[in-house]
Amino acid sequence: MNIDRTSLSQAQSRLVPILLIIIAVILMVQALRMTRPVTMPIAFAFFIAVIAHPLQTWLERYVPKWLAMVGVLVVLGAVVGLFVGAVELSLELVAPKLPQYGDRLQSLAQTVQTWLSNHGLPTGGSPSDRTISQLTQRAVGGVQSVVGAFSLLILVASFLALLLLEVGKYRDRTQRAFPDGAGDHIIHAVTSMGKKLRRYFLVVAFTSLITGVLTSIWCLVLGVGLAFVWGLLAFVLNFIPTLGSLIAAIVPALVATLFQGPAIGAATLAGLAVVQTILGNFVDPKLQGKYLKLSPFVALLSIVFWGWVWGIPGAFIGVPMTAAVMLFANEFKSSRPIAIMLGGSD
């Protein structure tokens, strides 16, 4: 009896820490979701600061620290401005096509409604009423999205400016706050993460650019409208591994099918699938395996998880967020099993 009680007590003592860890993780995830307006901009600012740190270090050789920070913000602002200009050009190209697209969608909706009615199936009301309601909702949602994106940009820029000014002080602060070698481990983890993330974003940006260019060229060859728009969409969505590649290939193919017939639609899908398969499913996983050392399954899971926590912006930084967790876990013996499960420990 005493042996059974001892065994039960030992099992409980091992189980309690595990349950506490699970509860802590659940609470932390819920806290991240509830504090999304603050924590998400901080995360973006942190990753941008990590990527831009070499540029700031180089500028600080010639100018004061505050001026180097301003220079980094100007460069990043120019990049954002270039992207916004591309989006604006895309909207200018899409705007003249909207009446044509609306008429085509209205005709298709009426055809579907007629087919459903002839087969005794519920139609769900007038397609024109639904179309007007949907357009109104999307217009309101679009305005809210623009306001939200502008607010996010302001917050990220504010946090980024403060991080760039303070980044040089964190090494000394970390060593003083965590003596006995723990501070060195943390600094090593941050340094290693920064190098890997910079390589990852650089190569992914390059492959995204290639994907966008090839997408536009293929759409031009087939005569698919809005080729530049589909190329820009492919460039942006390629930052979301797997899921983004699927969307970037399917959407142009659906539009081509709707306006130019199934043959052009199938050819569009086939060509874009080849581009996305080569660049997205072979190159990106190898880059993740080489630089971030995440398995493809973990990379996809991280996109879904962080997308659930922080929405679409979370999906864009899902892989780097998981990589940061993996790199920190790999620096300490007690948490190294987590890094091994994520595929990050050699």
Question: What is the per-residue pLDDT across 235-267, written as a single tens digit (0 to 9) for each?
Answer: 888 888 777 888 888 888 888 888 888 888 899
User: What values do phi and psi take at 343, rounded to 5?
Assistant: 90, 20
Q: Are residues 164 and 223 in the same domain?
A: no
Quick one: pLDDT at residue 29?
Answer: 87
Q: What residue numbers bound the domain in which 156 lies?
A: 36-97+121-168
22 lies in a domain? no
Q: Are residues 188 and 299 in the same domain?
A: yes
Binned at pLDDT 50, 70 and 90, residue 270 comes out as very high
107 lies in a domain? no
Q: Are residues 81 and 198 in the same domain?
A: no
1 lies in a domain? no
Q: Are residues 226 and 206 in the same domain?
A: yes
Residue from 153, 150, 157, 187 nearest 49 by CA: 157
175 lies in a domain? no
323 lies in a domain? yes
Tell me the mean pLDDT in the region 308-337: 81
Q: Are residues 45 and 153 in the same domain?
A: yes
269 lies in a domain? yes
Residue with the larger pLDDT of the pair 327 and 318: 318
3-class SS letters over 100-143: HHHHHHHHHHHHHHHHHHHCCCCCCCCHHHHHHHHHHHHHHHHH
18 lies in a domain? no
Q: Are residues 203 and 279 in the same domain?
A: yes
Q: Are residues 190 and 77 in the same domain?
A: no
Domain count, the chain: 2
Q: Are residues 197 and 158 in the same domain?
A: no
**168, 195, 230 — which closes off a domain?**
168
Binned at pLDDT 50, 70 and 90, residue 121 comes out as low
**108, 143, 168 — which closes off a domain?**
168
Long-range contacts of 300-305 (CB under 8 A, 24+ apart): 300/241, 300/242, 300/243, 303/240, 303/241, 303/242, 303/243
Quick one: pLDDT at residue 298?
Answer: 82
The answer to whether 55 and 72 are in contact (CB under 8 A) is yes
Q: Are residues 160 and 268 in the same domain?
A: no
List pLDDT tens digits, range 191-229: 877 887 788 788 888 888 999 999 999 999 988 888 888
Q: Are residues 336 and 218 in the same domain?
A: yes
Q: Are residues 208 and 280 in the same domain?
A: yes
254 lies in a domain? yes
Q: Are residues 346 and 208 in the same domain?
A: yes
